[in-house]
Amino acid sequence: MDIRQATLADQRELQTLGRETYRHYFGDLWQNSDELEQFLADDFSNEEMENTLESPDHRWLVLQEQGDTVGFAKVHFNQPVEGAEGRGAKLCKLYFKPQSRARGLGVMLFGAVETAARENGQSCLWLTVLQSNLPAIGFYQRQRMHQVAETAYITATQSTPLWIMKKDIND
């Protein structure tokens, strides 16, 4: 296993893997397929990827197994915690190929995210997670994160409830 910081050379692979894994895990939750495709087009656009891969306020980490990228994470530093006090590192993405789940890789990559946040002077790590995604909530609770607020992801056709979870890391 190898975890490293992503570079622009990883852009295409991250775009492909991101779109594929998002569709696999969350595609059925979208009531409107056009909204899903627009979300993915925006979230993994060339401009968005280039900006965040080169930004000192972002960190993309890739987890590789025998040279194959099986998962990745995206972190955005110095972000106000939604629904709570303070600022910290927002874990924007923690995605794995379906066949790579439930093998302890999430714990490894989450640990690397936490290390990156600490190294960048962040006091906490926070994220949003679907309230219906009980496996992910359980995973984050095992990483000592706790719910601090709730919000929703709103589109023209639906509202999806989310928990905001947080972990203090300045101890």
| Contact predicate 71/63, CB 8 Å | yes
pLDDT (0 to 100) of residue 171: 60
Structurally, the chain folds into a number of domains equal to 1
Q: With b meaning 16 or more CB within 10 Å and e meaning fewer, what string describes 55-73? A: eeebbbbbbeeeeebbbbb
Q: How far apart are alpha carbons 23 and 15 in whole angstroms?
A: 12
pLDDT (0 to 100) of residue 137: 96
Q: How far apart are the first and last CA of the chain?
A: 28
Q: What is the CATH number of the domain that holds 53?
A: 3.40.630.30
Residue 103: what are its φ and ψ, rounded to 5°? Answer: -125, 15
pLDDT (0 to 100) of residue 1: 82
pLDDT (0 to 100) of residue 44: 93
Q: What is the pLDDT along the chain (171 residues), one digit of tens a residue?
A: 899 999 999 999 999 999 999 998 888 888 899 999 999 999 999 999 999 999 999 999 999 988 888 999 999 999 999 888 889 999 999 989 877 666 788 899 999 999 999 999 999 999 999 999 999 999 999 999 999 999 999 888 989 999 999 999 976
pLDDT (0 to 100) of residue 105: 85
pLDDT (0 to 100) of residue 62: 96
Which residue range forms the structural domain that includes residue 75? 2-168
Q: How far apart are alpha carbons 4 and 2 in whole angstroms?
A: 6
